[in-house]
Amino acid sequence: MKKVILAFLVFSFCNAFAQEDAWVYFADKPDTESFFTNPLSFFTERAINRRLQQNIALDSKDVPISESYVATVENSSGIVVLAKSRWFNAVHVRGSVDDINALQNLTFVSEIDFANSNLNASGRFQQSLVNKHNTEALTDFSYGFANAQIQQINGQVVHQSDFTGTGKIIAVLDSGFPGVFTAAPFERLVNNNRILGTYNYVTRETNVANNSSHGTAVLSTMGGFIENQYAGTAPDAEYYLFVTEDVASENPVEESLWVEAAEEADRLGVDVINTSLGYFQYDNASYSYTFADMNGETAFISRGADIAFSRGMIVVVSAGNSGGSSTPNISAPADAQHAFTIGAVDNQGNLASFSSVGPTADNRIKPDVVARGVTAAVIGPTGSVSGANGTSFSAPIVSGMITSLWQALPNFTNQQIMDLIRNTASSAANPQNTIGYGIPNFGNALQNGLTTTDFTKNTVQVFPNPFSNQLSMSQIEETTHLDVFTVEGKRIYQALVTENTSLDTANWSKGIYLFVFHQNGSTTIKKLIKN
């Protein structure tokens, strides 16, 4: 009996003091009103413009998390806050089960979700989420080592049409970027100020060069350049480099760090997120996922990827490298409904043995497309080129080309770009859960996009801009309907307009307005600012 009691006491002690990870969700955002009064105090103008272009309104997910709530949690007994999220209005904490559960006593805490689903009364937490150019050959790279992987997806056609990512921004979320600021193949980026910023979310510093070189190789497939020897798929794009992966351990906090970085990418106006990371099994087996969890609605990072999409970004994700294992399925966030998931093939277009496969747990086609991931040409920290295997490299090869394509089709939404790529891929007529829609053909995607006039027509003129008390219009066709929205998505005006229409805007508040013209089956969007 004494042994039984002793065992019980030891178990109770361990249960009380063992450190666990959990997400703590807040009930509200007290600063909502002040945010919507002046969203540009938080978001960059580029971020607002990306939404306006795609007719995406600001909503409560965009409001910053309450720092006073975060501070209260941080000051609670036994609690360490490791990450925070405005999209989820939540913080990632670590502490004992008792100390974490005690946070329920805070009036602003609405829910606690332990990473160990056995500690939650209802198992894993799930949450449903939403919702003409010159084509003359101007840029003719000698791709060298990268030739095969770019020609396999017909990407050279996009570059030859002078679309190389200029004016678009990619955020790379990875494990480290040593050599990026010192190796010659990245000088084109560095010397032209195309690395816009860096941050290490693991160590909370700007240095991203003291970790794994995985991110360096990933970046090289997009932004690397060696004259006559190598060119990435988006050599003239701009980049943010974010470290979210802790190579020393595998823990759910990395999902939270990823979401935090994705939120910053959103705030900064990023167009494309590339992540060659995936999560399924953790060091603590109690935190690991099962295939049933790969439904796009369970993993924190997957839900975050879908929110990133809803903000107007394209999130490109590696399918994973477990194809030859006992768990060959894709990992999170590759299971997200709106993630653009990339598998790997060899130089002959055959599926790589390691490439993770679908479907998702809710029976959706994954991956979306495939690209070169067997002996893909990558560049390391010293500037040398080598061959590497993994969906880690097929994903950024596609990311960069998506970015260059989007430069050519700036009026397309993120969904339209993704649909265009799927529909012109090699297996579009018969998508499969091994290669998805197949190998993309970016040359065909470009041609199809440029002939889709509904998205390229933009002749309506509204002036002056910025404006004060009066607005005039020109090049208005008959039966044109105009809707005017505030940056928050509130419609303040709607009417049929003509060449002679003049708007009295004296009573409008200062700020950004979205003018949406519908005429003859096409839609034209204009952004105007009132001083």
**Residue numbers annotated as active site:** 174, 214, 392
Beta bridge pairs of residue 519: 522
Burial (CB count <10 Å: 0-12, 13-18, 19+), residue 495: exposed
Q: What does each C-alpha distance from 421 to 230, 233, 291, 439 come to in angstroms?
A: 24, 15, 28, 9
Residue with tokens 């990418």: 265
What is the chain's length? 531
Q: Which residue has the tokens 């990827």?
A: 305
Q: Residue 295 and residue 302: Cα distance in Å, rounded?
A: 9
List the beta strands (DSSP E) in 248-364.
272-275, 314-318, 340-345
What is the distance of C-alpha 372 from the center of its chain? 21
Helix, coil or strand: residue 172: strand
**How far does Cα 96 stand from its chain's mean position?**
33
**Distance (Å, whole) CA 61 – CA 73:** 20
Q: Which two tokens stand for residue 85?
A: 């999220």
The C-alpha atoms of residue 193 and residue 45 are separated, in whole angstroms, by: 19
| 8 A C-beta contact, residue 30 and residue 11 | no
Encoded tokens for 526 = 């204009």
Q: Is the omega angle on the peptide bond into residue 333 within 30 degrees of 0, that is, cis?
A: yes
Q: How many CB atoms lie under 10 A from the CB of residue 304?
A: 26
Alpha-carbon span 491 to 484, nearest angstrom = 6
Q: Omega of the bond prior to 359 within 30 degrees of 0, cis?
A: yes
CA separation for the pair 458, 472 (Å, rounded): 16
Specify whether the CB–CB gap between 366 and 341 falls below 8 A.
Answer: yes
Contact 98, 92 (CB under 8 A): no
DSSP assignment string, 461-481:
EEE-SSBSSEEEEESPPSSEE
Token code pair at residue 179: 């050599």
